[in-house]
Chains A and B, each alone.
Chain A
Amino acid sequence: MDHIIEMLHITKTFPGIVANDDITLQLRKGEIHALLGENGAGKSTLMSVLFGLYQPEQGKILISGNEVKIRNPNDANRYGIGMVHQHFKLVHNFTVLENIVLGVESTRNGFLEMKEARDKVMELSGRYHLKIDPDALISEITVGMQQRVEILKMLYRENQILIFDEPTAVLTPQEIIELMKIMRELVEEGKSVLFITHKLNEIKEVADRCTILRKGKKIATVSVGETSKEEMSRLMVGRTVNFNIEKPTLNVGNEVLRVDGLTVRDPRSGKNWVDHVSFSVRQGEILCVAGIDGNGQSQLVYALTGLLPLDEGKITFCQQDISHMPAKKRGALGMAHIPEDRHKHGLVLDYRLDENLILQSYDQEPFSSRGFLKFADIHRYAEHLIEQYDIRSALGGETPARSMSGGNQQKSILAREIDRNPELLIAVQPTRGLDVGAIEYIHRQLLAQRNAGKAVLLVSLELDEVMDVSDRIIVLYEGRVVADLQPDQVTIEELGLYMSGSKVGDGFEKK
């Protein structure tokens, strides 16, 4: 069998950790090869080595049987390796065409020669069914089209080996199906694809073989057709994972949060970020706000938690009108918030863990009195939370928050917010970027809140999470609620249609 790329015995270390430990990966010509592993398993490091961003300490890379040194991305490009990064590398105020030719523009006497480029791009676009509008600005097109632009960028450079880094994270179910089709067409044309992911369904769907990494080591390379999903997840995590979440049926109680006609405007464009949204959350219920990223979820949560002023509407929380109440008072009333971006809002990274654990309550007994902090009590409290919520850190409460792993940072925010015993917990993408074990833990904690008769508002982009955890789903599209659903009465595909705006629920009007 022809191997187009062989990465043999690659070892790459960073201070304190071995990111890649003697990893061998062989990519056959014309196959889709998935690279599966949890966060921190070493997938990105391995791909960065292949792309010339890191130099490995040991091991070698062979392309079509010849050993090569890849010192930087330009080298990689020369060897025909292209990559679609998880976060697209596009210039937003350039057109699609300009982005595709950027860096390899054809010129005549120093002037751009776009005609030729346009013909080539349109030819590629037609051949691979990558529908684009060459003259649209990147800032005006959908995420799905942006991804097609990234793929065209690789094809325009005549790359033979295409790396996709978690390409489906930002797509709707329909767009994912389309991407899978494109990937298959690419290999039929003789390209080879490396597909980084931690979603087993997608691997089953499209990949030929799969290499599994765990904690920097290669565990196995398996043939996807002959390996079950359960087996792959066991190899990835190192133990059997329970995918089913047990959810006892509860009687929902009183209304905790009521939102009426909430509207938040973008002060610059005047467009409605959140457009007359109404819903309520009751005790013993997890209400999930589903939607594709950027459809007003962030602004909705900011308005609920008091980080952004609202322009119209009313928020009632525990029978009180809190529409214009400052964030601190909302917290005191029993609203807790696990923010979307733990580094931006959730933590002061330059503070220690114990200082972060009192971020919401530093000015209350017993953590301070008469304006002075009481470090002994703060420390005792921190140790208590660290033990109860199993927060792993090098120096206990004195660990700088910055030095902790993402999962443990998230656990400490969760601990802080849940320990305040809130009436309503607002959790925004609480499992983003976490590995399977941590996700399981967070889901259990959210359910524990619900089972204790509290209200939970969960904002999530992960469809599996939406379906598994929630009691009720509302879908946001362009700032409006377009559906109010029960998870057991809707399929993932249907949910995708609501999220992309192609379908509107009963009783909701189309824009």
Chain B
Amino acid sequence: MSVIPSLLAIVAGFLLGFLILLVVNPNQALDGIGIILKGGLNKGLAGMGQVLYFATPIIMTGLAVGFAFKTGLFNIGASGQFTMGAFAAIYVGVTMKGLHPSIHWLVAVLAAMLAGAVWGFLPGLLKAYRNVNEVITSIMMNYIGMSAVNIMIRATVYNKLKNESLPVAAAANIPKWGLNQLFPYSSMNGGILIAILCVFIIYIVLEKTTFGYELKACGFNKDAGLYAGINAKRNMVYSMMISGALAGIGGGLLYLSGSGKYMKVIDIIATEGFDGISVSLLGMSHPIAILFAGIFIAYIKVGGFNLQLLNYDQEIINIITAAIIYFSAFALLFRSRIQAFLTRREQTKTDEEPEVGESQ
């Protein structure tokens, strides 16, 4: 039953995407929406491998935003935490060549986690002990993170020719664990498995532990948390740290994927953080649902990528995929209305029935 609003939201998103396609180029609109719908399935398993590769970082940022949200915080700083994590992973991957090859990648991922946690810690601290709105501080931390990483790349692991980070050591890349054979010709790697592991850990923490019980209690109702003697302030800091750590891991997984992706020195905030917000909205902050929402959004993005075959500008494609994603996510805000509508319809049905009986 709770899946219905999500599905309706997605359908609404596709309708809007189709409308934009129609307005821009009516002749190819039907083909276009077909390509988007087919998404990653265009090229069989290779396409799906690509979908999972794109899904990995946004599952992590989605998980970050969703986890914070469940505990009553709006972490809009997933981008900055993601960027910090990415840099930490690359730094470890490039410089610490002395590490044993079997643990090099693990150390790099842990560094990413730590860096993300630090970037989440500061807004959490300010929110808990100085009551500074975490939305504002985490947005500012996005800019600080972006600029700081640009400086740090130039100072440490800089490839001057390409204005980007140096390639990491081979052992620092996430192992493929045979996934590249399962999904040939794709950038598929073990990152998705780590993301799935994180999803399950977060699910268990939130649903099965006393720590999760405390975090959610404070998130739903801070005053009741205080009443129950829960240390709400400390939990707030923990919550932002965990959220940041998740986003940080996401950054690490993307740049340790061995797909030939390097960190560019540019003044653009990582989009993965914002995609995380829509993933989390679409997944209604539930960890398992976030996993599927992340895959869905990656699927649409791959579909949009394939749309280049038709006569659509790259910008238009971006607008269309963004429209589908954001409309899907935001339509969920009307979830309660959709549900009210459904119950009302049921009610009128049951109301009408006895009347039919009377007239007979």
Binding site for B on A (CB under 8 A): 15, 305-307, 326-331, 337, 339, 344-351, 355, 359-360, 362-363, 368, 371-373
**Total contacting residues, chain B, CB less than 8 A:** 21
Contact of A307 among B216, B220, B226, B347 (CB under 8 A): B226
From known contacts A326-B229, A327-B227, A347-B224, infer whether A359 and B343 are also in contact, taking CB-CB under 8 Å. no
Contact present for B211 and A371 (CB under 8 Å): yes
Q: What mask results when residues 216 to 246 of chain B are scored 1 for a CB within 8 Å of chain A, else 0?
A: 1100110111111110000000000000000
Contact of B210 among A328, A345, A371 (CB under 8 A): A371
A selection of 5 A-B contacts at a CB cut-off of 8 Å is A305-B227, A306-B229, A331-B229, A339-B227, A349-B221
- Measured CB to CB, the nearest residue on chain A to B220 is A350
Q: How many A-B residue pairs have CB under 8 A?
A: 67
Chain A hits for B224, CB < 8 A? 344-348, 359
Q: How far is the CB of B169 from chain A (nearest CB, A)?
A: 37
Contact present for B220 and A327 (CB under 8 Å): no
Flag whether B213 is at the interface (Cβ < 8 A): yes
Q: How far is the CB of A300 from chain B (nearest CB, A)?
A: 16
Give CA–CA (A475, B227) in the complex, Å: 25
Chain B hits for A327, CB < 8 A? 226-229
Give CA–CA (A371, B214) in the complex, Å: 11
Q: How far is the CB of A349 from chain B (nearest CB, A)?
A: 7
Q: A359-B217, A372-B209 are in contact. List 13 more A-B contacts (CB 8 A).
A: A15-B343, A15-B347, A326-B229, A327-B227, A328-B228, A345-B223, A345-B224, A346-B224, A351-B217, A359-B228, A360-B229, A362-B213, A373-B209
Q: What mask results when residues 331 to 350 of chain B are scored 1 for a CB within 8 Å of chain A, else 0?
A: 00000000000011001000
- Measured CB to CB, the nearest residue on chain A to B221 is A348
Contact present for A346 and B220 (CB under 8 Å): no
Contact present for A346 and B227 (CB under 8 Å): yes
From known contacts A15-B343, A360-B229, infer whether A344 and B223 are also in contact, taking CB-CB under 8 Å. yes
Q: How far is the CB of B355 from chain A (nearest CB, A)?
A: 13
Give CA–CA (A371, B344) in the complex, Å: 43
Chain B hits for A373, CB < 8 A? 208-210, 213
Give CA–CA (A360, B230) in the complex, Å: 9
Q: How far is the CB of B286 from chain A (nearest CB, A)?
A: 13
- Interface centre among B211, B229, B230, B347, by most A CB within 10 Å? B229
- Measured CB to CB, the nearest residue on chain A to B224 is A348
Q: How far is the CB of B358 from chain A (nearest CB, A)?
A: 15
Chain B residues numbered 163-222 whose CB sits less than 8 Å from any CB in chain A: 208-211, 213-214, 216-217, 220-221
Binding site for A on B (CB under 8 A): 208-211, 213-214, 216-217, 220-221, 223-230, 343-344, 347
Chain A hits for B226, CB < 8 A? 307, 327, 345
Q: How far is the CB of A427 from chain B (nearest CB, A)?
A: 14
Contact present for B229 and A362 (CB under 8 Å): no
Q: How far is the CB of A404 from chain B (nearest CB, A)?
A: 15
Give CA–CA (A330, B211) in the complex, Å: 21
Q: How far is the CB of A382 from chain B (nearest CB, A)?
A: 14
Chain A hits for B221, CB < 8 A? 344, 347-350
Give CA–CA (A131, B92) in the complex, Å: 78
- Measured CB to CB, the nearest residue on chain B to A328 is B229
Q: How far is the CB of A54 from chain B (nearest CB, A)?
A: 16
- Measured CB to CB, the nearest residue on chain B to A364 is B210
Contact of A355 among B208, B211, B213 (CB under 8 A): B213
Give CA–CA (A371, B206) in the complex, Å: 12
Contact present for A349 and B220 (CB under 8 Å): yes
- Interface centre among B209, B221, B225, B228, by most A CB within 10 Å? B228
Give CA–CA (A372, B209) in the complex, Å: 4
Q: How far is the CB of A459 from chain B (nearest CB, A)?
A: 15
Q: How far is the CB of A16 from chain B (nearest CB, A)?
A: 9
Chain A hits for B229, CB < 8 A? 306, 326-331, 360
- Measured CB to CB, the nearest residue on chain A to B346 is A15
Give CA–CA (A327, B208) in the complex, Å: 24
Q: How far is the CB of A325 from chain B (nearest CB, A)?
A: 10
- Measured CB to CB, the nearest residue on chain B to A350 is B220
- Measured CB to CB, the nearest residue on chain B to A330 is B229
From known contacts A15-B343, A359-B217, infer whether A345 and B227 are also in contact, taking CB-CB under 8 Å. yes
Q: How far is the CB of B264 from chain A (nearest CB, A)?
A: 42
Contact present for B227 and A337 (CB under 8 Å): yes
From known contacts A326-B229, A359-B224, infer whether A348 and B211 are also in contact, taking CB-CB under 8 Å. no
From known contacts A337-B227, A346-B227, A351-B220, infer whether A372 and B210 are also in contact, taking CB-CB under 8 Å. yes
- Measured CB to CB, the nearest residue on chain B to A337 is B227
Give CA–CA (A362, B223) in the complex, Å: 17
Contact present for B347 and A372 (CB under 8 Å): no
Give CA–CA (A339, B228) in the complex, Å: 11
Chain B hits for A344, CB < 8 A? 221, 223-224
Chain B hits for A331, CB < 8 A? 229
Give CA–CA (A296, B77) in the complex, Å: 41
Chain A hits for B347, CB < 8 A? 15
Give CA–CA (A344, B226) in the complex, Å: 10
Q: How far is the CB of B43 from chain A (nearest CB, A)?
A: 43
Q: How far is the CB of A416 from chain B (nearest CB, A)?
A: 10
Q: How far is the CB of A447 from chain B (nearest CB, A)?
A: 25
- Measured CB to CB, the nearest residue on chain B to A57 is B351
- Measured CB to CB, the nearest residue on chain A to B227 is A345
Q: How far is the CB of B303 from chain A (nearest CB, A)?
A: 36
Give CA–CA (A368, B211) in the complex, Å: 11
Give CA–CA (A305, B225) in the complex, Å: 13
Q: How far is the CB of B186 from chain A (nearest CB, A)?
A: 38
- Measured CB to CB, the nearest residue on chain A to B229 is A328
Give CA–CA (A408, B95) in the complex, Å: 63
Q: How far is the CB of A220 from chain B (nearest CB, A)?
A: 29
Give CA–CA (A363, B212) in the complex, Å: 11
Give CA–CA (A363, B214) in the complex, Å: 9
Q: How far is the CB of B320 from chain A (nearest CB, A)?
A: 36
Q: How far is the CB of A419 from chain B (nearest CB, A)?
A: 15
Chain A hits for B210, CB < 8 A? 362-363, 368, 371-373
Q: Which 5 A-B pairs have the closest CB atoms?
A: A328-B229, A327-B229, A345-B227, A350-B220, A359-B228
Give CA–CA (A78, B223) in the complex, Å: 43
Contact of A348 among B208, B209, B217, B343 (CB under 8 A): B217
